[in-house]
Structure 1
Amino acid sequence: MKTTQNFSEISRNYSDTSILMHEAISSSIGLAGTDHKYLGLIIKKKELTAGEISEITGLSTGAVTGLIDRLEKRKLLKRKSDKNDRRKVLIVPDVQKAMELLEPVFTILQKRTRELTSSFSEAEINAIERYFTAATEIMKDITQNLKNKQ
């Protein structure tokens, strides 16, 4: 049976490798850092304000402005006035353009991940899903606690 220490080391390695992979993905498509991850969050919301992006990501308003500028320059999103409040600016992703840019990388990643997961039993998949679901909630809780301390 694996020790907790071994599991912690494997989990840290997974997390570190994930960060490095996402940095490489961004770099390969001409974006900075993890901009494509932030773009993914924006796509999930469909349209939102810069303030909402700051709230979701924890980035400062200045960092969000830089993010929006970089993604807008690549035509991955646009700013548009809110029809109900012209003072408010909405950030709207260009989902099609983003998918065209990201799909080649993620197609390979998804294919290899499907190949890997197909080698697991249903019980193993259930255990992995249970772990990731619970671990995600722990990370959300810690993130919120850290934001509340700021």
Structure 2
Amino acid sequence: MEISKSSIPNDVTGAQNNAFRFGLNGVKSEIVGVHPLQPLLESSRRAHEEVKRTVMANVYGSAFPLKMDLDRQILSRFQRPPGALPSSILGLEVLTGSLDEFGFEDYLNDPRDSGNLRPADMHHGMEVRLGLSKGPVCPSFI
């Protein structure tokens, strides 16, 4: 008889309450929501992408947006193994046009470059990526 991982409760496996791996839980992050403008920004971005997709379908034919979706799926899968070097998704940034955007990390530095983050746990990163473990993913795994 095989025991599946989903039948084992989280308190036995320690997937969510592992203080050594993820640090102590804070209450502030559970209480404070997202910034009020963030949902508006995401909805406007989705609306802009939908209009762009419709224009491309009208100009180049209905197969072109499907080809771009396939390219987006392929380029979003490329990642380095978790470890010292963060994944660079340059091809996806070029395809979506986000390479031309000027974000806060461009003038306030990337938070991953500060020395405040713990070193990446390569074993946990691979467990999360393969679906063997659940838990918060450190930004350096992305």
Structure ranking higher in strand proportion = 1
TM-score (norm 1): 0.27
TM-score (norm 2): 0.28
- Computing the radius of gyration over CA atoms, which structure comes out larger, 1 or 2? 2
Higher RCO (C-alpha 8 Å, min separation 6)? 2
Structure ranking higher in helix proportion = 1
